[in-house]
Amino acid sequence: MAEMNKISKEVESDLQQYREAFKASIDYCRPQFEAYLRFYKLWRGIKPPEMDATLSNIWINIFHSIVNNRLPLIFENVFSNPDYLTLKSDSPEYDLMADGAQAWIRDLLNDKIKIRSDAMATVQSALIGGTGYRMPYVRYVERDGKQVPVVSSKNLNFFNVFPSPNGSTVNPSDYHEESGVDWMLVVDWWSEDKIKGEAKREGFNESEIDRMFDDQNGGPRRYDEDNYKDQFKQVNGMNYEGYGAQYDKLSGDKPDTLNKRRVVHWFRRDVHMIVAEDAYLIYKGDPYMGKGTIPVVPINN
């Protein structure tokens, strides 16, 4: 109880809402996760039980061939033209800035994010299981002794994304539409070094970060999505996310740059929260892409 007394009522309420939202989302996602695993096994050439009653195994290669055939064709169709992305201003008063903004975003996608290669895993996921996800985000780099924000983007693994049970569209034209989801939960892994570095930034809760590091019961544990990630590992014969059980068994203390903590982004229309290890509300602030916009982009097949 002494530990709980360190949590403000507001933080405790937010954590309770987060846990209820996560439970609702993962219950909603279970059938989709199971279907994705079945499709992924087909793509990897693992024979389904139904084929045990057949004499021919030729069909097992069809699914892999379809995906590997379509993947380069999609990229050729999208990126064959160097002017694959164009911008138009919403209002005549912005016309003078349109060309500069277009040059900036092309440079961002082509040279900074390297979207042609980086999006390969996202499109492949969409071809295999029907949906792939990407997330735009802001990272900080040091320039002339100052921390400068830089826009970036990354692929999200299918088993790390949990939509709300309602709605079917992440970002409709009007976020009040019935088709819009209420939230998206995204699992990520941050190094302890990164978390400590973020503690002083606006919106981060330094006392909650301290509480997490002071908790002697912290560290690796099982989470709701791990069952599906374990099956994914078995299919691939490898550790998922590069942070598997064998890595945790390394003797001695690992540096903060290698010790990682599970964090979950709770993207809502009106607020962005980050919860570490399902127990510590380390960040709460305004949505970084503006009210009403959830920074998750689904790519559907």
* % of the chain surpassing 90 pLDDT: 50
- Cβ within 8 Å of residue 222, ≥6 positions away: none
Q: What is the pLDDT of residues 211-235, one digit of tens each?
A: 999 986 655 578 888 888 888 888 8
Q: Count CA atoms within 13 Å of residue 267 on its CB side.
A: 26
Q: What is the pLDDT of residues 258-272, one digit of tens each?
A: 788 999 999 999 999
Torsion over CA: 226, 273, 297, 194 (sign): negative
Q: How confident is the model at residue 47 (pLDDT cuts 50, 70, 90)?
A: confident
Q: What is the pLDDT of residues 138-177, one digit of tens each?
A: 888 888 888 888 889 999 999 999 999 998 899 998 888 8
Residue 239 pLDDT > 60: no
Pairing of strands 272-276, 280-285: antiparallel
Residue 135 pLDDT > 70: yes
Q: How confident is the model at residue 209 (pLDDT cuts 50, 70, 90)?
A: very high
- Residue 154 three-state SS: strand
- pLDDT for 270: 94
Buried b / exposed e over 206-222, threshold 16 CB at 10 Å, is eebbebbeeeeeeeeee
Provide the residue ranges of all domains of the chain, joining segments of one domain with +: 4-300
Contact in structure between 270 and 291 (CB atoms under 8 Å): yes
- Alpha-carbon span 262 to 278, nearest angstrom: 8
Write the burial class of residue 23 (CB in 10 Å: 0-12 exposed, 13-18 middle, 19+ buried): exposed
Q: Residue 188 has which token pair?
A: 């990520």
- Residue 135 three-state SS: strand
DSSP state of 259: -
Residue 94 pLDDT > 70: yes
Contact in structure between 109 and 284 (CB atoms under 8 Å): no
283 backbone dihedrals φ, ψ, rounded to 5°: -150, 140
Torsion over CA: 287, 288, 293, 294 (sign): negative
- pLDDT for 257: 64
Average pLDDT of span 129-143: 90
* CA angle centred on 112, ends 142 and 69, rounded to 5°: 150
- Residue 32 three-state SS: helix
Q: Which residue has the higher pLDDT, 202 or 237?
A: 202
- Alpha-carbon span 184 to 177, nearest angstrom: 16
Average pLDDT of span 252-257: 61
**Percentages of the chain per state (helix, strand, coil), in multiples of 5:** 45, 20, 35
- pLDDT for 64: 85
* CA angle centred on 105, ends 72 and 76, rounded to 5°: 15
